[in-house]
Structures are given as structure tokens and as C-alpha cells.
Amino acid sequence: MKLTRRHVVSLAAGAVASSAIAPLAWAQAYPTRPIRIVVGFAPGGSTDIAARIIAQWLTERLGKQVVIENRAGAASNIAAETVARAAPDGHTLLLVSSADTINATLHPRPNFIFTREIAPVAGLTQQPQVLLANPAVPTKTFVELIAYVKANPGKVDIASAGNGSISHLAGELLKMSAGIELVHLPYRGSGPALTDLLAGHVQISFSGMAGSVQHLKSGRLRALAVSTTKRSEVLPDVPAIAEFYPGFAAVSLFGIGTPRNTPADIIDKLNSEINAGLADAKVAAQFADLGGTVLTGPPTAFGQLVADETEKWAKVIRAANIKQE
């Protein structure tokens, strides 16, 4: 059949209309199967718990099971690359954490730039690190600790969850901000570091809020400061380090990412549902139990936060000459 100009125009108009409708139909149909959230750490930690909180909410809201897949190893690089290689259809998500903002500098990989490979979806929560001291340390306040360390340069040990961990970088940032010398003792995880701090084998350490509160209540450890720019509602009597060194911040960051090229309408749908969850009193309370505050906002806001954190930690890593193990 010979196509007239009218036929051609009509077909072209139909194609344009179909392409405009397709993304909307795709978003309305999404998800079509179970969704997995890939977590770069073993079950039981704060990262895993954060993923499970939002997974339960999304399961209820989206009508499809949202499951957690723990792909521990290589400081969360394995999980990030798993998601980056997945189909960009919204059915494979990444639990983004501070490790991803640190890895860009500490564990650089050719042809893999996190902020290019993973598209931001939504923030979840940020959790402070608590500067803890064994009661045997002869300081009861943050100001006294700084004075004590300055009077005893290179004689105070600070434990961390491992080389390049957020607790390690928080300590390095404190050293740079206060102009003090501390002896860094890296452990294989926050659990072993906390165990030795409780036993008095090390003197101070930065640690996550969730694992610290019970030891603070029992008096086995002393909280000297928190690493957020403002005081924590969980520990309102404990000062923020930023009160003494303006701008100081070292938080554990959690959010959701997806492979690049995931359709914007799917990202927007996920962002909307996640923000609804963070506004829910029950969900917000679960994150508060981890010692964190929720991070609401559009995908661009979370993406900018990840970029800012990546840049900040790059400066600390280079200034402290931290090398990957």
C-alpha cells in the first residue's frame, strides 16, 4: 500500500503519543516481580537493619515482596558493582552507605565511578558516631579529653571498626580539627573494637549510636561527644563536636540507589513511597531506635549529599595519607 503524506503524519503522531504514554504505563505497572535490595555488609549491622526497615514498608506499599540480598565483601564494592551491572528496571536496588562515599578515594576502581554508575533514589537516615571513652580514662568531658591528649601526645589509643571505616575517618577528622595526636588501632569490625574498649585495652573510640546506648546506660562507657552538627535527641546532654570545631560532621549515611539509566518515573515512584515511609511515625521510630534521623527529599538532594560526602572524605583520606589494606 502506498503511504500518503497524511498516513505518514498520522503514524508519526501515533508513535509520539505511544512513546509519551509508555513511561507512564511502565510506572503504573511497576513492580512486576519481587524487588531486591543489595546490602554490602553481613546481616545484623546498622546497614542491614536500615535496609530491612524500608524493605518491609515498600513490600506493603508496592504489593510485591522486597527482599534483602547481603553481598558482603570489599568494603561494599561487591554490592555496588552487582547493582551497577543489573538491569535498570527498578527491581534491583542498592543500600547506599558511607562506605560508598569513602570507597571512591580509598578503593578507586578503573571504569567505575560510583556517582555515575548508581543513580540516587532517596535518602533514608543519617546516624551519628559517638566518641566513647573507657571510664578509666581520666577525662569526663570532651574539652578535658582534648586537653589530656595534647598533654600526652601519641599516648592515647583510638580504636576503629577498620582501616577506612567511618569510625576511622571520624578519628582522623578529629585529629585534624583539634590538632592532636592519637594512635589508631584498626579492628575487624565495630564489635571487636567495642569489646576491647569495654575491657580497657583501648582508651577511646568512635562508634555507632545503636551499639553504644546500652553500654552508656550501664555506665560501662562514657559518651564525650557526638559527631553530628547538632546534639542527638537520644543523648541530649552530650555535646556535638561541632560546638567546639564548627562544621565538624562524621555521620553514617544510608539511602537507596539504583542502576544508572533506570527510568525517571520509576525512580520518582520509589522516592515518593520511601518518603511516605519516612513520614510514617512507626517507620521513623524504627530509625530513631538506631540513633538516626530520617533523610527526606527528592533524588537530587540525596545525590548531592552523596557527592558532598565523597568530596569531604577524599580530602581527609589524602590529608591523612590513608591507604587501602
pLDDT per residue as tens digits for the range 19-60: 444 445 555 689 999 999 999 988 888 889 999 999 999 999
Residue ranges per structural domain of the chain: 33-126+252-319, 128-243
Q: Is 160 exposed, middle or buried (0-12, 13-18, 19+ CB in 10 A)?
A: buried
Q: Do domains 33-126+252-319 and 128-243 have the same CATH topology?
A: yes
Say if CB 238 and CB 226 are below 8 A apart.
yes
**Paired residues of 36 in beta bridges:** 67, 92
Show the DSSP H helices in the chain as ranges: 5-29, 46-62, 77-84, 98-106, 114-117, 142-151, 166-178, 190-199, 213-218, 264-279, 281-289, 299-319
Those residues with Cβ within 8 angstroms of residue 124's Cβ, 6 or more apart along the chain or in another chain? 50, 53, 54, 254, 255, 256, 274, 278, 287, 294, 295
Checking if the pLDDT of 16 tops 50, the result is no
Residue with cell 577498620: 162
pLDDT at 27: 56
For the segment 305-312, the average pLDDT, to the nearest whole number, is: 96
pTM above 0.95, yes or no: no
The rounded distance, in Å, linking the Cα atoms of 74 and 62 is 32
Please state, for a pLDDT cut of 70, what percent of the chain lies above it. 91
- Convert the pLDDT of each residue in 222-267 to its tens digit: 999 999 999 998 899 999 999 999 999 999 999 999 999 999 999 9
CATH 3.40.190.150 fits 33-126+252-319, yes or no: yes
More confident residue, 124 or 323: 124
pLDDT at 210: 79
Please state, for a pLDDT cut of 90, what percent of the chain lies above it. 76
Checking if the pLDDT of 282 tops 90, the result is yes
Confidence band, pLDDT 50/70/90 cuts, at residue 311? very high
Checking if the pLDDT of 83 tops 80, the result is yes
Checking if the pLDDT of 89 tops 50, the result is yes
CATH, domain range 128-243: 3.40.190.10
